[in-house]
Amino acid sequence: MIGKRAFILTFAKYFLPILLVVSLLSYFFYRMDKSGRLMMIQSHSLKNVQTFNKLIATDLNNGLADLHFLAHIRVLQEYLDEPSASNRSRLAALFQSFASAKQVYDQIRYLDLSGQEQVRINYAQSHAHVVTREKLQNKQGRYYVTEIQALKPGEHYLSALDLNMEQGEIERPFKPMLRFGTLVQDANGATRGMILLNYRAERLLGHIKGQGRATLGSVMMLNQAGYWLVGRANGEAWGFMLPDRADKRFQNSFPIAWDRIKPGKSGQIHTKEGLFTFDTLYPLSLVNGDHNPQQPAQVTPQTMGSTTTDPSYQWKIVSHVPQHKLESVMADLQQAIVTLYGIVMFVIALVIIMTVRAQMRDRRSVHAMTQQRRELDKTREELIQTEKMASLGRLVAGFAHEINTPIGVAVGATSQLEELAQSIEQLLQQDEVDEEILLNHLTTIREASALSFSNINRAAHMIRSFKRSSADQASLSTRRFNVSQSIHDVVTSLHNSLKQSPIKIDIECNKELTFYSVPGVLEQVLTNLLGNSQLHAYDEGNLSGRIRILVELTPQQHLHLLYSDDGRGMDEQTLREIFTPFYTTKPNAGGTGLGLYICQNLIEDKLGGEIHCTSEPGEGTQFSFTIPPSDTHRE
């Protein structure tokens, strides 16, 4: 009896204080983590709506820039000064080329002051064509012609965002549309007509439709009357134009939130229906270059079949995280804390019981064992730390080699941007600027910028991979991409190293082949394979040879890539070890033994594919891998 009582008292002596401390700590961490998760959701939602707002504003600014460009282009001025048939043909050809290049304008038109179309380009089914003169129409009396005619020189017109109508009926499938317009003058300053662009707004709305689904809740876009332009689901949008959806309004579903969102410019609201985050975009302020929507506007948009001069015409970007999802996140957290708390307390109780029993049997033995355990724990920690430092040293030794390629490409691309900037400055100093050359330079600038950005992202991915001592899964985006373009980007990125060697690269890939996967992974694998061939197969680029890259789709719609070189090949022992981490045959020549290991991990773990290698001494090496489409794409 005395022994049992002593056991209980000793157990309580240790267990109760620990129980109190662990309980308080668990509650503290629960409250802290709960607050942190809510703040993270709020911050993420706010960032989302602000980002969508900026993307939409950018599209509108691009449309205004295109309008300004066409209104002041020399070919138009020549036609206004001399409206001959040849000048009209030149203007139509220019508009046609512009529509084909942009691919976002349903129509590009020049109308005279009477509303008669003089030049009209229709863009449909990825083709821009010039409307013949006998099919040109007089648009006098249309609301947008009337409102553009009322503008002053230099002012711009922007219509409301609505569905396109043909012959008094809403066009199906639905075609969201915005119209940009402005008056144009001849060399004497006389107003001669107007330029009108019909902007296909599905691209603008696509920012929310495409990325909004990746958020915790849903992202919506509303007009100032509360009608959905982008709803939570199909069948909610365009209620102000479709009678069968007239009741589909935000305020009918969320009246409390709407009372706060409608008068506000931006903010967050937490109601019983969940977390609402919103931001407001004033299209008219962008058109007029005035970011204060309270100032009088100079243009008039069309709104639900009528016109308005209200400068507060606006769109609302709203993110909604339903309350049940917030509660689910918090419930998961609570369950995890309770489970961890129970496990910890159970383990602590067992440890205390064992400790007390051992202490009661032999205090000396317990003390000795405790001391030995401490020494063993210390020794183990020292060994682990030593191994970590050794591994870190090996990783860092290979890191410079692995990261040199993307950083070098980014630097090269930046240098190319500087050269193109100088070339454009020289062009602009000339009396006449060759438009085609200028556009080619701008295209090259965009490509170089994209290449620099892509390789910097790849470098960041390598850093994360080496940090975890292996090429584990990384947060690379999944999308449909052009396979041929990605392969050529990789070859271009290695140009500086390949141009010094007599190695030729043959790429056999359909230029139109697209695939839904992670392009960054494919590019990194090809980069590693090319670097491996240059280092090992061709003796650091000193031997001549040919590399062949063949890409095709299998009957199962998987991407199959065959990579082969005619270099020195590998023996059987080397072939068995090539995917082993840190295995290299040239440690003194920059090899880290991680390149092929990373390739295997990326293809098999990240993409769920397969990779195989065959090689014989003197016969070259072949790598064959097959990648299935992304699971996201299948769904």
Same domain for 465 and 574, yes or no, is no
Same domain for 583 and 465, yes or no, is no
In tens, the pLDDT along 418-445 reads: 887 888 888 787 777 777 887 887 888 8
Mean of pLDDT values over 345-358: 83
Specify which residues 241 forms β-bridges with: none
As a whole number of angstroms, the distance between CA 467 and CA 482 comes to: 30
Give me the percent of the chain exceeding a pLDDT of 70. 83
- Residue 46 lies inside a defined structural domain of this protein: yes
pLDDT score at 26: 79
DSSP category for residue 243: G
- Domain boundary among the residues 469, 504, 526 is at 469
Predicted confidence (pLDDT) at residue 334 exceeds the cutoff of 50: yes
Mean of pLDDT values over 139-147: 87
pLDDT score at 50: 86
As a whole number of angstroms, the distance between CA 134 and CA 282 comes to: 39
Same domain for 350 and 464, yes or no, is no
What's CA 459's distance to the chain center, in Å?
Answer: 17
As a whole number of angstroms, the distance between CA 111 and CA 179 comes to: 14
Which helix (H) or strand (E) is 99 found in, with range? helix 85-102
In tens, the pLDDT along 266-312 reads: 999 999 999 999 999 888 776 665 544 443 333 333 333 333 345 66
As a whole number of angstroms, the distance between CA 458 and CA 384 comes to: 30
Q: Is 124 helix (H, G, I), strand (E, B) or coil?
A: strand
Mean of pLDDT values over 620-632: 86
Mean pLDDT of the chain: 80
In tens, the pLDDT along 481-516 reads: 899 988 887 787 676 666 667 888 899 999 999 999
pLDDT score at 607: 86
Same domain for 407 and 324, yes or no, is no
pLDDT score at 103: 92
Question: 3-class secondary structure for 21-55?
Answer: HHHHHHHHHHHHHHHHHHHHHHHHHHHHHHHHHHH
Q: Please state at what angle helix 85-102 crosses helix 74-81, rounded to 10 degrees.
A: 150
Mean of pLDDT values over 72-98: 93
Same domain for 455 and 542, yes or no, is no
As a whole number of angstroms, the distance between CA 52 and CA 487 comes to: 31
pLDDT score at 294: 40
As a whole number of angstroms, the distance between CA 442 and CA 448 comes to: 10
- Residue 24 lies inside a defined structural domain of this protein: yes
- Domain boundary among the residues 441, 469, 497 is at 469
pLDDT score at 171: 85
DSSP category for residue 609: -
Who contacts 94 (Cβ-Cβ below 8 Å, separation ≥6)? 73, 75, 76
As a whole number of angstroms, the distance between CA 90 and CA 106 comes to: 20
As a whole number of angstroms, the distance between CA 18 and CA 28 comes to: 15
- Residue 378 lies inside a defined structural domain of this protein: no
Mean of pLDDT values over 247-260: 92
Same domain for 464 and 481, yes or no, is no
pLDDT score at 614: 92
Predicted confidence (pLDDT) at residue 218 exceeds the cutoff of 90: no
Predicted confidence (pLDDT) at residue 139 exceeds the cutoff of 70: yes
DSSP category for residue 595: H
In tens, the pLDDT along 9-49 reads: 877 877 888 888 888 887 787 778 878 888 888 888 888 88
Count how many Cα atoms sit within 13 Å of the Cα of residue 82 in the half-sphere of its side chain: 9
As a whole number of angstroms, the distance between CA 320 and CA 232 comes to: 9
Among the listed residues 101, 199, 115, the one whose alpha carbon sits nearest the alpha carbon of residue 150:
115
User: Most distant CA pair in the chain: distance in Å?
Assistant: 118
Mean of pLDDT values over 469-477: 44
Instruction: Return the structure tokens found at 387.
Output: 């191994």
Mean of pLDDT values over 131-147: 90
Among the listed residues 387, 345, 397, the one whose alpha carbon sits nearest the alpha carbon of residue 26:
345
What's CA 298's distance to the chain center, in Å?
Answer: 36
Rg of the chain in Å (alpha carbons): 33
Please work out, in degrees rounded to the nearest 5, the angle formed at the alpha carbon of residue 271 by the alpha carbons of 266 and 274: 90
As a whole number of angstroms, the distance between CA 472 and CA 466 comes to: 9
What distances in angstroms separate CA 358 from CA 19, 29, 312, 365, 370, one per listed residue? 21, 33, 79, 8, 11
pLDDT range class, residue 465, cuts 50, 70, 90: very low
- Residue 383 lies inside a defined structural domain of this protein: no
Predicted confidence (pLDDT) at residue 71 exceeds the cutoff of 60: yes
Mean of pLDDT values over 90-105: 94
Helices (H), 504-618: 519-532, 572-577, 595-601
pLDDT range class, residue 401, cuts 50, 70, 90: low
Q: Are 221 and 318 in contact (CB under 8 A)?
A: yes
Q: Are 163 and 174 in contact (CB under 8 A)?
A: yes
Please work out, in degrees rounded to the nearest 5, the angle formed at the alpha carbon of residue 555 by the alpha carbons of 553 and 556: 90
Instruction: Return the structure tokens found at 612.
Output: 């195989």
Q: Are 159 and 221 in contact (CB under 8 A)?
A: no
Among the listed residues 167, 94, 158, the one whose alpha carbon sits nearest the alpha carbon of residue 137:
167
Containing domain of residue 417, as a range?
389-469
Q: Are 177 and 162 in contact (CB under 8 A)?
A: yes
Measure CA of the first residue to CA of the last residue in the chain; give whole Å: 67
- Residue 9 lies inside a defined structural domain of this protein: yes
Beta pairing, strands 228-230 & 127-130:
unpaired
- Residue 379 lies inside a defined structural domain of this protein: no
- Residue 348 lies inside a defined structural domain of this protein: yes
Which helix (H) or strand (E) is 429 found in, with range? helix 363-429
In tens, the pLDDT along 108-122 reads: 999 999 999 999 999
- Residue 82 lies inside a defined structural domain of this protein: yes
Same domain for 128 and 224, yes or no, is yes
The CATH code of the domain that includes 544 is 3.30.565.10
As a whole number of angstroms, the distance between CA 526 and CA 521 comes to: 9
Q: Are 95 and 119 in contact (CB under 8 A)?
A: yes
Q: Are 67 and 195 in contact (CB under 8 A)?
A: yes
In this prediction the pTM is 0.48
Predicted confidence (pLDDT) at residue 130 exceeds the cutoff of 80: yes
Same domain for 346 and 481, yes or no, is no
Same domain for 435 and 575, yes or no, is no
Q: Is 295 helix (H, G, I), strand (E, B) or coil?
A: coil
Same domain for 275 and 177, yes or no, is yes
| Buried-exposed string 309-330: b where 16+ CB fall within 10 A, e elsewhere | eebebbbbbbbbbeeeebeebe
As a whole number of angstroms, the distance between CA 201 and CA 161 comes to: 8
Mean of pLDDT values over 411-421: 81
Please work out, in degrees rounded to the nearest 5, the angle formed at the alpha carbon of residue 379 by the alpha carbons of 376 and 382: 150
Predicted confidence (pLDDT) at residue 324 exceeds the cutoff of 70: yes
Mean of pLDDT values over 329-338: 79
613 φ, ψ (degrees, to nearest 5): -135, 135
DSSP 340-407: HHHHHHHHHHHHHHHHHHHHHH-HHHHHHHHHHHHHHHHHHHHHHHHHHHHHHHHHHHHHHHHHHHHH
pLDDT score at 8: 82
Same domain for 435 and 323, yes or no, is no
As a whole number of angstroms, the distance between CA 600 and CA 598 comes to: 5
- Domain boundary among the residues 469, 484, 499 is at 469
Instruction: Return the structure tokens found at 6.
Output: 């002593």
Count how many Cα atoms sit within 13 Å of the Cα of residue 492 in the half-sphere of its side chain: 17
Specify which residues 490 forms β-bridges with: none
Total structural domains within the chain: 3
Q: Computed from CA positions of residues 237, 243, 244, 247, in that sequence, does the dihedral angle turn out positive or negative?
A: positive
Which of the residue ranges 345-359, 386-400, 541-555 has the most confident prediction, judged by mean pLDDT? 541-555
Same domain for 435 and 484, yes or no, is no
Give me the percent of the chain exceeding a pLDDT of 90. 27
How many other CB atoms sit within 10 Å of the CB of residue 190? 10
Q: Is the bond preceding 555 in cis, omega lying within 30 degrees of 0?
A: no
Predicted confidence (pLDDT) at residue 213 exceeds the cutoff of 60: no
pLDDT score at 459: 74
